[in-house]
Structure formats: C-alpha cells, structure tokens
Amino acid sequence: MGRRMTSATEHSVPTAQVQVEPAHYFRPEYDHRARFLSYWQQIHYVRTLASQSVLEIGIGNAFVSDYLRRRGVDVLTLDIDANLYPDCAGSILRLPFQDQAFEMVICCEVLEHLPFEWFRGAARELERVSAQHVVISVPDRTRAYRFDVQIPLLGEIKKLVHVPTLRPREHVFDGQHYWELGKAGYPLRLVTGVLEDAGFDVLDSYRLFESPRYHFFLLGKHLRGRAGAEV
C-alpha cells in the first residue's frame, strides 16, 4: 500500500491558523494525569487493532508517536505548526497523501480547533487517507457522574452516567476551541451524523471513565455499503 505524498489539490480550502506557541506542549502542566489516560487510549487502539502504518494528526509533544515507533509501528506525523517538527507540515483540510495511505489515522484533540463548519471537510479527508480505522477524540462537556463500587462475588462495577442539561451552555471561543460536545448546538448526534455522512461506521463512541472530558470515537470505513453499491 503506497503512502507517497501528493501535491495539493486545486480547489480552495479554508486556512487554519496556529493557535499556541510550541512551548505550550512541553510545560509541566500540559501532561496532566488525564492527558496520559488519553495517550494510553490512543496507543491501546493501535496495538489492539495491530495497525502497522499510522498517521498522527496533531503531534503535540510527540509522546504517542515516539512510543509507537519504539515498538515498531511505522508512524508519520502531520501538524499545521512546522515549529513542532512533524514529519509533514500541513492542514487536515487538505492532507497531502494518497487515498487509503494509512491503516489507521489518529486525530485527537484537534477538530475542536477548527470552526464546526469545517468539520465535515476534515472528516472526509480522514476517511479518504485511511484504509481501515480512524481514532478521534474531542472535548465533551456533557455532565456525567462516575460510580465505582466493589461488590463481593461480583467484583468491581464501574458506570459513567450522563446527565443531559435542559439548557446547555453556549460555547464562547477561547482562542483555541471553536466548539465542544455537550455545549448548545453541538449534541452527540450531530457529530455522529457528520462522521457517518463522511463515510464512517461509528464502531465505538465513549468517554474515558477516569476523565469524561475526553470523548473517543473509533471509526471504520463503510465497507459493506461500498460493496453493495458495486454489485
């Protein structure tokens, strides 16, 4: 399966902007406990699905890509900020790769940095360059309560209970996030619908129990639908 970079397409796309300085990703407070849980989840998907060619969009401090490379995974990184030294500097809105170039694409804590009207185009690019799976995560501000109890003979029971609010808070752009799940106008069904329209099956959609702020999606391609269309 080829991974040769392609030249940019001729049609115009919106231009995303760098929002934070590179030093942001290397400050002590950046790698808090919840973020390490997110790192673990991303790595877990790659190892569980045995993905050998991975594109990571949004390099951050390179923790995930460094870890995977040390374990023999072929990882290529892309970021809009060349000062973070990704393998390729570019935009998620116009990925410079061939169709189905990577077994898996990881795009975590990236999409909320784009205006929501650009989300659909970004999702289509993720679908185009992935051959099997895509992992994304976005912030989720829906209220949730954690229950974790130990019961004799039954063991540990863990449950994350979501509690929708009648009047979700409006999201105000804070210099980084244009939108967040659970805020007014951004329900889960809207995000799921965009992903499905882009050509994905949502194989898993859940929030980290230890840190419900992170909402993960494991996406697969519409293989059955495409096969049916070809008949």
Domain boundaries in the chain? Answer: 22-230
What's the pLDDT score for residue 227? Answer: 41
DSSP β-ladder status, 214-221 and 200-207:
antiparallel
**CATH tag for 22-230 (out of 3.40.50.150, 3.40.50.880, 2.40.50.110, 3.40.50.300):** 3.40.50.150
DSSP 71-128: TT-EEEEEES-GGG--SEE--TTS--B-TT-EEEEEEES-GGGS-GGGHHHHHHHHHH
Measure the CA–CA gap between 100 and 199, rounded to whole angstroms: 13
**Which tokens sit at 126?**
């993720």
Q: Please count the residues of the chain.
A: 231
What's the pLDDT score for residue 231? Answer: 26
Measure the CA–CA gap between 40 and 34, rounded to whole angstroms: 10
Query: Locate tokens 């289509």: which residue?
Result: 124
What's the pLDDT score for residue 3? Answer: 54
pLDDT < 70 positions in the chain: 1-13, 223-231
Measure the CA–CA gap between 186 and 105, rounded to whole angstroms: 24
Measure the CA–CA gap between 110 and 194, rounded to whole angstroms: 16
Collapsing DSSP to helix, strand or coil, 53 comes out as strand
What's the pLDDT score for residue 102? Answer: 98
Q: What share of the chain is helix, strand, coil (3-state, %, to 5)?
A: 30, 30, 40
Residue 35 corresponds to which amino acid?
A: R
What's the pLDDT score for residue 182? Answer: 94
pTM of the model: 0.88
Burial (Cβ within 10 Å: 0-12, 13-18, ≥19) of residue 210: middle
